[in-house]
Amino acid sequence: DSGVTQTPKHLITATGQRVTLRCSPRSGDLSVYWYQQSLDQGLQFLIQYYNGEERAKGNILERFSAQQFPDLHSELNLSSLELGDSALYFCASSPLGGLGDTQYFGPGTRLTVL
């Protein structure tokens, strides 16, 4: 157990819908990262937050947004869902969000868009 929690574990929804994925980092970690894992694209970095502020952005679609709250938990919002958004979404956390910080992954949320 990494100490990073994610809810829900599974999510099944329809195209065009909107969902929210939630992540709680390890106690004391200030930085949260979101990754998408699909069969054809592998593990892709979406976005990083550090202490409530956006720190870095990767291949995140405009339909996706995220935020980190004062209690440091983070939410990833996915809207206007398409079939291709079906994937495993992982959250990771690290102490400071700096180079060499070990990133600890949560168990993931499996999103299925029908």
Partner 1 sequence: GENVEQHPSTLSVQEGDSAVIKCTYSDSASNYFPWYKQELGKRPQLIIDIRSNVGEKKDQRIAVTLNKTAKHFSLHITETQPEDSAVYFCAASKQAGTALIFGKGTTLSVSS
Which member of 24, 36, 68, 103 binds partner 1 (CB under 8 A)?
103
State in angstroms the smallest separation of the CB of 29 from partner 1: 14
The amino acid present at 106, given as its one-letter code, is: G
CB 104 within 8 A of CB 3: yes
Q: Which two tokens stand for residue 54?
A: 């956006």
State in angstroms the smallest separation of the CB of 25 from partner 1: 14
Residue 86 CA to chain centroid, in angstroms?
A: 14
**C-alpha R_g of the chain:** 13
CB 85 within 8 A of CB 25: no
Region 4-33 residues binding partner 1, contact defined as CB under 8 A: 33
State in angstroms the smallest separation of the CB of 79 from partner 1: 22
Which member of 66, 72, 106, 113 binds partner 1 (CB under 8 A)?
106
Question: What three-state secondary structure class fits 60?
Answer: coil
Region 42-101 residues binding partner 1, contact defined as CB under 8 A: 42-45, 48, 50, 55-56, 58, 90, 97-100
Quote the CA–CA distance of 10 and 101 in Å, as a whole number: 29
Q: Which residues bind partner 1 (CB under 8 A)?
A: 2, 33, 35, 42-45, 48, 50, 55-56, 58, 90, 97-100, 102-108
